Amino acid sequence: MIKISPSILACDFANLQSEIKKVEDAGVQYLHIDVMDGIFVPNITLGPCVVSAIRKNSNLVFDVHLMITDPIRYIEDFAKAGADIITIHVESTFDVNKAIEKIKACEKKAGISIKPNTKPEIVKQYIDKVDLVLCMTVEPGFGGQSFIPETLENIKAVAEMIKESSREIDLEVDGGISPKNAHLVKEAGANVIVAGSAVFGSSDIPQTVKDLMA
C-alpha cells in the first residue's frame, strides 16, 4: 500500500496543531518532519522541542528527516522527542553504520537518504540494516522545488536492492511530488510519498491525499 507523509515544512507554522490535524483527518499514515541545520543544507528549520510539542497531539508515525551534519549527535534527542523513524543522509556523516546502530539502540526505525546526485549503489551495503531508504527527488534544503526526473533511476535501483534483500523496507521519495507526477515515482517502486506544498497548499486536502495514493 502507498503511504503518504505530508511535510510540515509547507504548513502554516502559526497553526501547527490544526494543520497536523487536517492531514491526520485526511487519512495519511506518516508525518514528515524536515530538520535542517544551515550547514548540511542552507536552510534552518526546527529541532527536538518542536517534535515533542506536536507529539502530544498526534498519533501519526513521525518520520523525521535529518538534513544535518554529523547527525549522530542528535539522534537520541529526536528519539526522546517522539520520532518513530529517523532518517539520516549518507552524505552527512563518516560513519553511517554507527548512526544506524544508534537509531536502533534508541528502538526507532532507521532510515538512510541519498541526494539526487549520490550514486544509489552506496545504499547496498546498508540494506540489511535499514527500515527505510529515502531517495531525494530534489536537492534537499527547501520545499516547493521542481521534481528532478533523473532521480527516477535512483528509485528504480534502490527498489531492485530492496527486492533482492527480501526485507520489508519502505522506499520513500521526497521533493516536488504532486498528484500530477506521483504515478512516476510509484511506477519506479516508491511506497512512501512525501508531499509538502501539494498537500498543505491544497484547497481539498483529503482529495489530494487520495489522488497521491491512487
Contact positions vs ligand DX5 (CB under 6 A): 7, 9-10, 32, 34, 65, 138, 140-145, 174-177, 194-198
Residue from 3, 22, 65, 186 in contact with Zn ion (CB under 5 A) = 65
Q: Which member of 174, 188, 198, 209 binds Zn ion (CB under 5 A)? A: 174
DSSP type of residue 65: E
211: annotated active-site residue:
no
Longest dimension (CA), the chain: 45
Is 34 in the active site? yes
DSSP letter, residue 37: B
- Burial zone of 63 (CB within 10 Å; 0-12 exposed, 13-18 middle, 19+ buried): buried
Nearer to ligand DX5, 176 or 189 (CB): 176
Residues in the chain: 214
Report whether 87 contacts 63 (CB < 8 A). yes
| Region from 34-42, 107-115, 179-187, 202-210 binding Zn ion, contact rule CB under 5 A | 34-42
Residue 58 interacts with, from Zn ion, ligand DX5, none (CB under 5-8 Å by kind): none
**Shortest Å, Cβ 164 to Zn ion:** 26
Q: What are phi and psi of 31, to 5 degrees?
A: -125, 120
Question: Which of 34, 63, 131, 170 is the catalytic position?
Answer: 34
DSSP summary character for residue 17? H
Nearest approach in angstroms of CB 142 to ligand DX5 is 6
Catalytic residues: 34, 174
